[in-house]
Structure 1
Amino acid sequence: MIIKLVSKENEWNRIYESMPEFIGKIYYSFNYFEALRANNEGTPSAVYFKTENGFIFYPFLIKNVPNLLAQGYADIESPYGYGGPVIIGCDYKDIRQYIQEYVNLMHEQRVIAEFVRFSPFLPINEVFKETYELSLNRKTVCIDLNDSFAEVIKGCTGARKRNYKRACRDLYLETNYEINQAKNIFKNLYTKNMNRLEADNYYYFSDNYFDKLLELPAENISLNIVCTYDRTPVAAGIFLKDSVSVHYHLGASDLNYKEMQPASFLILNTAKEAIGEGKKAFHLGGGVSKDCDDKLFRFKKGFSDQVLNFYIGKKVYDIDKYDLISKNWQKITGKTPEIHLHYHYL
C-alpha cells in the first residue's frame, strides 16, 4: 500500500491516462487544474492511494488560510465543476484504509477543512457518506447522446422543439473567429450576464483563467458562438470535453435577442456536434438552486428528462483551529458565515 501527494505534471498525467474513460473525466486533468491555478484558486495537488487491488485518485486545490487569520494552515477544495475521489478496483477494506491514511495525511499537511463537489456521474461510496457531511446541492440535467440527433430533438419538450425551429431560421454557429477574438466575444457576453444577475465575485473569472482554459487541447474544449446572419454574436458557450462526454462549463447570451432563442440553438447544436464526435453524454449542469421550480433548471430540463443528483461534502479536520479562524473572520468582516470555507473572503 502507498499513499502520496502528486503535484508534478508527468506523474499526474500518467495516473490520469491509466484511469478508464468515464463521464466527467476532464475535471480530473492536470491541464484543467492549471487553469484554476491561473485564477488564483489554489495550488493543484492530488492524493494517490495504491493497493494490490487498484488505486484511488483524488485531485483538489490546496489553499493557505489567510495569514491575517492564522499562519501555517491550509484547506482543500474540489475544482469549479465536479470532483471527489475516483475509485479504481479497490474493495471496501481498501477504501477504509484509504480514509485512515488520508485523514493522517491531512493532519500532516495542517489542513483544517475540506469542501468536496462530488461528481454526479460517480457513485458516492458508503465510506465517504460516513466520512463527510453530505448534502444535496442541486439536481443537474444530462442529454443522452447514444442515439441520433433526431432522437435528442424527440426527447425535448414541445417548447424547446419550437424554440429550436424558430432559432434555425435566424441563427448559425460561427466557426471562423480567431481564438482571441472568440475569447473577447465570450467574455463580453459573459460579463454582461454576470452584471445583470449581480453575481458573486467568484463567478467573474480572470483573464489568466480564460487564457489558460483556452490552451486546453482541442479535443478537450470548444468555444461555440451563435450569431445572427448579419454576424452579430448573440450567445456563446465554453464546453469541456473528454473522450465520452461534453460539459456545459460557462455560457451567456444577449437578452436583446432572446426571442430568437439563441440559448436553445447553442445547446442543441453543441449536442449535434458532440454526437458527430462520438460522445455519449452532454451534461448541462443544473439551476442556481436545488428548487425544482428554479427557472434555469426548468429551462435545461426541457432538453432531457435525465436528472442527476449533485452532492457536496464538508469536513473539518481541526475543529478548534477552524472555529478560531471563523470567529476572527467574523470579527474582522462583521459577517455571518454562509459557506464552509468562508474565511478566504476578507
Structure 2
Amino acid sequence: MQRLIPASERDDWRAALAPLGALDPSYLPEYHLAYALRVAHSRPLLWHFSSDGQHFLYPFLLTPVLLGTVATPYFDITSVYGYTGPIATTADSRFLAAAWAAFDGYAAQQRIIAEFVRFSPFNRNQGFAHPQASVLANRTLAASQLPASDPPASHQALLQSLGAKTRNMLRKAERAGLVARELPLPQYLPQFRALYDATMERHQAPPFFRYDDAYWQQLLALGAQGLRLFGTFGRCTGGRMTAAAMAIVHGASGLYHLGASGDEGAGPGAGNLSLFAMSCALMDSGVGFLNLTGGRTAAPDDPLLLFKRSNANGTAVFHIGQRIVDPPAYNAVARQWQQLRGAPPEAGKVVFWRF
C-alpha cells in the first residue's frame, strides 16, 4: 500500500508515524505546517509505503520549480528546516527496494526533478536514503545524552557532564540572582517574541530568521507537551525576561528550536541558565536526546556552535542528501536557468533555484 498524507490531516499523519517509535520532533505534522508557511507554494506531505507489516515513511515539502518569476512544469522535494528524511521499520534490502521503486513511480508522475534531504541525528536515518542519493556529513551539532531522570541527582550528573567554564557561568548567574523556569504558552509568547526579535536585530540576522504571526500560531498547535519555553529572570533587570530557550519535543527526543538573550546588561550566564533549565526539565519529562543544533556556518570554530557545545555534553553529526531525480528534465531546467541568468547554476547545489 502507498498513500500521501497532507500535514493538515494531523491525526492520520501521527498515526502513520506511530509504528516507527521514537522520532525526531521535526517529523511532526504541526512543525511541517509551520515551516511550509516559509516556503512559497509548498505543500507538506508524508509519503507512506507499507508491505507485510513493515512501513516506510518520507515527509517532505513538495514545491513547484520556479526560476525567479518563470514557471516550469516541474517540482522539487525538500526536507523542512530541521531533521527528518526517509525512515523505515526495517532495513531489509528487498523491502527498501520496493519502497523506493514505488516512490520513484510517484515522483515520475508528479514530475519531481530533484530532492534535498536533511537527516536526523537522533534517528540516524541516512542509511535509508535513496540508492542514487549523494549523502554527505555536513557539520557537527551540539547534543546532550541526558541521564535517566532522578532529581536532584540527575540534575547534578548533567551539571558535572558540562565543561568547567559553563559550570562557572551557571554559578555566576545564581550569585547574580538570576532564576530560570519553564513558562506557560501562549501567555509568555509575546515576551519571548519581543526578546527574540531584539536578539535578531542586534545580530543583524537575515530575514529567514524572522517569524510572522502565522508561524507562531501554527507552532502553538504542538501543544503544551510539544512546544516548551524556558526563561531567565533577575533582580538586576527589574524582573523582565533576559534570556530564553524554546524546544520542540516528541517522546524521548528534544530539539532546541529558538533562543534569545538580552544585551550585556542581562546578567552573567543568563543564556547558560535558560539552556540548563531546559535540559533538566526535558530530562525530567523523559527526553534522553537533546539536539542543541549547530552554528551559523559549518565551521568547527563557529562561535554559536562553540556556545552550544559548551552547554551540551556531547556532539552529533548532521548529514544531508541530494539527488537528481529526473536527469533529462533537470538538465533542461539548468539550461533554461543559464539562458535567463547568463551563468550556469552554482556547482554542488542540486536545488539551485532556491538555495
**SS of equivalent to 2:192:** helix
Is the contact between residue 39 and residue 206 of structure 1 (CA under 8 Å) also seen in structure 2?
A: no
Match of 1:284 in 2: 292
Match of 1:173 among 164, 167, 180: 180
Are residues 1:325 and 2:333 paired? Answer: yes
| Matches of 1:194 and 1:32, distance apart in 2 | 21
Q: How does 1:297-316 map to 2 (within 5 A)?
A: 297-316=305-324
State how far apart, in whole Å, the 2-side matches of 1:262 and 1:19 are. Answer: 37
Deviation at 1:272, TM superposition (A): 1.5
Q: How many residues align?
A: 341
Q: 1:90 to 1:157 in 2, by over 3 A?
A: closer
The residue type equivalent to 2:216 in the other structure is: F
Equivalence for 1:210:
216
Distance in 2 between residues matched to 1:159 and 1:215, nearest whole Å: 37
* Structure 2 residue 344 is the aligned partner of structure 1 residue 343: no
Alignment of 1:10-21 (within 5 A): 10-21=11-22
Moved more, 7-16 or 212-221: 7-16
How far off its partner does 1:242 sit? 1.2
SS for the counterpart of 1:199 is coil
**Who is 1:72 aligned against?**
73
2-structure distance, mates of 1:235, 1:331:
49
Alignment check: 8 A CA contact 2:50 2:56 kept: yes
- The aligned runs of 1:12-161 (5 Å cut-off) are 12-22=13-23, 24=24, 26-40=25-39, 42-66=42-66, 68-124=69-125, 126=127, 128=129, 130-147=131-148, 148-161=154-167
Backbone CA RMSD of aligned residues = 2.5
Deviates more, 1:72-81 or 1:12-21: 12-21
- Counterpart in the other structure of 2:278: 270
Equivalent-residue separation in structure 1 for 2:322 and 2:120 (angstroms): 14
Q: Which amino acid aligns with 1:249?
A: H
Q: Which consecutive segments of 4 or more residues in structure 1 shift more than 4 A?
A: 174-178, 326-336
Cα distance in 2 between the residues matched to 1:96 and 1:224: 44
Distance change (3 Å), C-alpha of 1:73 and 1:221: same
Quote the Cα distance in structure 1 between the aligned partners of 2:304 and 2:310: 10
**What amino acid is the match of 1:10?**
D
Which digits, 9 at most, give the CA deviation of each residue in 1:171-225, with x for residues without a partner?
1235567725x22222222223333333333222222111110221111111222
Residue 195 of structure 2: aligned partner:
189
> Offset at 1:150?
0.5
Q: Secondary structure at the match of 2:304?
A: helix
Name the amino acid aligned to 1:48: H
Separation (CA, whole Å) in 1 of partners of 2:52 and 2:247: 37
Amino acid in the other structure paired with 2:4: L
Change (3 A) 1:188 1:37: same
Q: Which moved more, 1:186-195 or 1:110-119?
A: 186-195
* Aligned partner letter, 2:204: E
Identity of aligned residues (%): 24
Q: Secondary structure at the match of 2:66?
A: coil
Aligned-pair distance for 1:228? 1.9
Deviation at 1:277, TM superposition (A): 1.4
One-letter code of the match for 2:322?
A: K
Stretches of structure 1 that go unaligned for 5 or more consecutive residues are none
Is this contact kept in 2: 1:69–1:325, CA < 8 A? no
The 3-state SS of whatever aligns with 1:71 is: strand
> Does residue 240 of structure 1 match 2:239?
no
Once the two structures are overlaid, the 10-residue window that deviates more, 262-271 or 325-334, is 325-334
Q: Contact 1:163 / 1:264 at 8 angstroms: preserved in 2?
A: yes
Checking the alignment, whether the CA contact within 8 Å between 2:243 and 2:274 is kept in structure 1 is yes
For residues 198 and 327 of structure 2, the distance between their equivalents in structure 1, rounded to whole angstroms, comes to: 41
- Residue 293 to residue 176, structure 1, CA distance change in 2 (3 Å): closer
Q: Secondary structure at the match of 1:198?
A: coil
Aligned-pair CA distance for 1:87: 1.1
TM-score (norm 1): 0.89
Runs of 5+ consecutive residues of structure 2 not aligned to the other structure: 149-153
Q: Distance in 2 between matches of 1:175 and 1:119?
A: 26
Q: Counterparts of 1:241 and 1:10 in 2: how far apart (Å)?
A: 17
Following superposition, the deviation at residue 327 of structure 1 comes to: 4.9
Q: In 1, are the aligned partners of 2:19 and 2:55 still within 8 Å (CA)?
A: no
Matches of 2:33 and 2:324, distance apart in 1: 26
Cα deviation, residue 98, structure 1: 1.6
